[in-house]
Amino acid sequence: MKSSILLLILVVSLALFTQGTALFVQYRVDKKYKVINYWVIGTGLMALGFLLMPLVVVEKLRQFAVVSNPFFILGLLLLYVGLTKFLKRKLKKRIPVFIFILFCLSYFYFLFVQNNLSVRTVILCGVISFISFMMAGLLFREKEKSLLISSNFTAIIFTCYGGFYLVRAVVTIIEPPAVTYADQRTGLVVTLIISIVASNLWTFALIVMINQRLNIEKQLEQEKLQLIFNTSIDAQLITRFDDGFIVDVNDEFEHLCGFSKEEVIGKTGKDIMFWRNQEDRKLVIKELEDKGICENMEFVFQRKDGSQFAGILSAKNIIINSYPHIISAIRDITQRKLIELKMQELVEQLEKERNIAQHNAITDSLTGLFNRRYLDKKLREEFSRLMVPGEKLSLIMLDIDYFKKFNDIYGHLQGDDCLQRVASSLEAVAKGEYNIVARFGGEEFIMVLPQMDEKAVKELGEESRKAIEKLAIPHNGSDISKYVTISVGVFTVYPYELESTDRALKIVDDALYLAKAQGRNRCIVGE
For residue 422, what is the domain's CATH number?
3.30.70.270
Residue 143 has pLDDT above 90, yes or no: no
What is the per-residue pLDDT across 200-238, written as a single tens digit (0 to 9) for each?
Answer: 777 777 778 877 777 777 777 777 767 766 777 788 888
Mark whether 262 and 407 lie in a shared domain: no
342 located within any domain: no
Mark whether 76 and 173 lie in a shared domain: yes
- Among 271, 236, 240, 276, residue whose Cα is nearest residue 256: 236
349 located within any domain: no
Mark whether 284 and 399 lie in a shared domain: no
- Among 505, 519, 507, residue whose Cα is nearest residue 402: 519
353 located within any domain: no
Helix (H, G, I), strand (E, B) or coil at 331: strand
Mark whether 139 and 101 lie in a shared domain: yes
Mark whether 219 and 238 lie in a shared domain: no
Is-catalytic flag, 353?
no
The residue with greater pLDDT, 281 or 426, is 426
- Among 260, 264, 233, 234, residue whose Cα is nearest residue 247: 264
Q: In this predicted structure, what is the pLDDT of residue 337? A: 83
Q: In this predicted structure, what is the pLDDT of residue 183? A: 43
Lowest-confidence segment of 88-97, 161-170, 383-392 by average pLDDT = 383-392
Rg (CA), the chain: 49
The residue with greater pLDDT, 438 or 183, is 438
* pTM (two decimals): 0.48
Mark whether 295 and 326 lie in a shared domain: yes
Range of the domain at 460: 363-525
What is the per-residue pLDDT across 371-412, written as a single tens digit (0 to 9) for each?
Answer: 999 999 998 888 888 777 778 889 999 999 999 999 999 999
Mark whether 199 and 164 lie in a shared domain: yes
46 and 37 in contact (C-beta within 8 Å)? Answer: no
204 located within any domain: yes
| Mean per-residue pLDDT, 174-193 | 57
Distance of CA 188 to the CA centre of its chain: 60
436 located within any domain: yes
Which of residues 223, 254, 276 is at a domain's end? 223
Our count of domains for the chain comes to 3
Mark whether 200 and 238 lie in a shared domain: no
Q: In this predicted structure, what is the pLDDT of residue 177? A: 55
d(CA 511, CA 525): 6
Amino acid at 277: N
Mark whether 67 and 212 lie in a shared domain: yes
Q: Which of 142, 382, 443, 444 is catalytic?
A: 443
344 located within any domain: no
Q: In this predicted structure, what is the pLDDT of residue 464? A: 94
491 and 510 in contact (C-beta within 8 Å)? Answer: no
d(CA 294, CA 287): 6
d(CA 165, CA 123): 10
Mark whether 239 and 378 lie in a shared domain: no
Residue 332 belongs to domain with CATH number: 3.30.450.20
Distance of CA 179 to the CA centre of its chain: 68
Which of residues 177, 197, 223 is at a domain's end? 223
| Mean per-residue pLDDT, 8-18 | 63
d(CA 147, CA 216): 10
- Among 380, 381, 375, 393, residue whose Cα is nearest residue 495: 393
239 located within any domain: yes
Helix (H, G, I), strand (E, B) or coil at 330: strand
d(CA 287, CA 315): 9
Q: Which residues of 424-462 are buried (b: 16+ CB within 10 A; e: fewer)?
A: ebbbebbeeeebbbbbbeebbbbbbbbebeeeebbebbe
305 located within any domain: yes
Q: In this predicted structure, what is the pLDDT of residue 358? A: 84
Confidence of residue 97 (pLDDT cuts 50, 70, 90): very high
Residue 60 has pLDDT above 80, yes or no: no
Q: Identify the burial level of 108 via C-beta atoms within 10 angstroms of its C-beta, where 0-12 means exposed, 13-18 middle and 19 or more buried.
A: middle
Q: CB atoms < 10 A from the CB of 319, how many?
A: 11
Which of residues 179, 202, 223 is at a domain's end? 223
* Contact residues for 322 (Cβ-Cβ < 8 A; gap 6+): none
Mark whether 73 and 216 lie in a shared domain: yes
Residue 182 has pLDDT above 50, yes or no: no
Distance of CA 88 to the CA centre of its chain: 32
- Among 314, 327, 329, residue whose Cα is nearest residue 238: 327
Residue 12 has pLDDT above 80, yes or no: no
Mark whether 451 and 332 lie in a shared domain: no
